[in-house]
Amino acid sequence: MLLMALPNEHLMAFNQYKDAKTLFDAIQTRFGSNEASKKTLLKQMHENFNASSTESLDSIFNRLSKIVSQLAILGENISQEDLNLKILRSLPSEWNTLVVVWRSKPDLDTMRFDDLYNNFKIVEQEVKGTISSSSSSSS
């Protein structure tokens, strides 16, 4: 995931690192940790943000929240609509039906990120409850 945040001309130099910590340390060493380079790296991480199909909803929201918070600290604010659309586009395919519904909501541009997250958590709990009750009744 970190490699996606690097400019193309630097990919080969960092391709050798196998885990995120050593890769991130190498990136910090190479590019320094001044505010401009941090902001650039975080913007690219935000632009390339995506979730794997095995990643939990909590993990997805936490990762994106952390990137957005760090950008805000550096004075780079992401609009509410962009943030909400980013999370909707990055969710795994099993969320597609709900994503279509949420993308058509008229208040998506003003809805707080936390509220969107809480709505998804409610649906996730309802789905888990339905699955567990149907599997226990079939036993």
Interval 52-102: pLDDT, tens: 889 999 999 999 999 999 999 999 999 999 999 999 999 988 889 989 999
Within a domain: 123: yes
Within a domain: 99: yes
Distance separating alpha carbons of residues 83 and 123, to the nearest angstrom = 20
Q: And the tokens for 20?
A: 């995120």
Closest CA to 30 of 8, 49, 46, 6: 6
What domain range includes position 55? 34-137
% of the chain beyond a pLDDT of 70:
83
Phi-psi region of 7 (alpha: psi -120 to 50; beta: other; left: phi over 0): beta
Q: Do the Cβ atoms of 27 and 41 come closer than 8 Å?
A: yes
- State pTM to two decimals: 0.68
- 133 occurs within a structural domain: yes
Number of domains composing the chain: 1
Report, in this order, helix, strand and coil percent for the chain, each rounded to 5.
Answer: 70, 0, 30
